[in-house]
Amino acid sequence: MSAPIPPIGPVVSPLERGLGGISIPTGDGSFGTLLTKALNDVGQVQQDRDEVIASFLRGEPVELHQVMAAAEEASLSLQMLVEIRNKLTEAYRSIMNLQV
């Protein structure tokens, strides 16, 4: 009377799919382009999380672990973005404090 268990999909390395929703650049691009893409990727992860949560709350067939995984991925990607911002701010301040 129970539903069959679906097969497990292929295991993908975090480096292959991107870290915390932020993809790893492979081509030549400016720093501004890279930063803009990272911001857009984090925004997309946040939107995906919101969609999964909304689907779960509407009673659609979404498992609780999918909701938790989406929420954790969004949280980690935002934390990583904040840390990148902190490092950039620290680097900027270090450069501005250099004695010439």
- pLDDT score recorded for residue 19: 53
Q: What would you measure as the largest C-alpha separation in the chain, in angstroms? A: 77
Q: What is the pLDDT of residue 79?
A: 95
Per-residue pLDDT of 10-46, as tens digits, reads 766 555 555 555 555 566 678 888 888 889 999 999 9
pLDDT in tens, 44-65: 999 999 999 999 999 999 999 9
Global pTM reads 0.65
- Which position has the higher pLDDT, 62 or 3? 62
